[in-house]
Amino acid sequence: MRVLGVDPGLTRCGVGVVEGVAGRPLTMHGVGVVRTPADAELGQRLVAIEQGIEQWLDEYRPEFVAVERVFSQHNVRTVMGTAQASAVAMLCAARRGIPVALHTPSEVKAAVTGNGRADKAQVGAMVTRLLRLDAPPKPADAADALALAICHIWRAPAQNRLQQAVAQNRLQQAAALHASKPASQAQNHAPNRAQNHAPTRAQDHAPKGRTA
């Protein structure tokens, strides 16, 4: 499984590609940051992020894209910029038909370090260890992107099993509902048939009137 992790941001959008499966050593294929100037117009910055992510998709051909789920913060302006960059990443993946997964920061930290409240230094240290790197990726946005990719690789099997269980449960419910419909419909139509035939029988047995 090859995953492109995206740590969204307007000024620095971290990107990292990791390949592997749960329970086996992972391999990093690339890591970096898509940067945009803070003094540029918003539209131009979003276009630059789109172009940068498209280049990564072209070069590494990931099977999945893992994006950090935007959560509420006190700084609304920061949240808006992060959400906009996140939407661009999701759009780029969806346009190519690549499945997108969203993971919260606490999910990523817990998956990589075992602690949902780990700081960036701890995340970077574990990413370095898991990917057998010489040093933690810089800046922290790049390390976070790799952590997102690792998180998805490790969590995907459990998520797939959960999705399959939900889908199977829905199929079973639909089958049970379909099986119960004929009996219910028969019960609903039975009184109607009796009512429709009753007047006919009454007319057949009623005495014939005299003709003038």
Does residue 141 have an active-site annotation? yes
- Of 32-36, 69-73, 183-187, 191-195, the range with the lowest mean pLDDT is 191-195
d(CA 53, CA 59): 10
CA–CA gap between residue 71 and residue 139 (Å, rounded): 21
Residue 52 has pLDDT above 50, yes or no: yes
pLDDT of res. 45: 98
Residue corresponding to tokens 């230094």? 121
Banded pLDDT at 156 (limits 50, 70, 90): confident
Is there a catalytic annotation at residue 134?
Answer: no
Separation between Cα atoms, residue 154 and residue 68, nearest integer Å: 15
d(CA 52, CA 87): 14
The answer to whether residue 68 is catalytic is yes
d(CA 63, CA 100): 9
The confidence band for 29, taking pLDDT boundaries of 50, 70 and 90, is: very high
| Pairing status of strand 12-19 against strand 2-7 | antiparallel
Catalytic hit among 7, 39, 59, 63: 7
pLDDT at 68 over 80: yes
Separation of CA 76 from chain center: 24
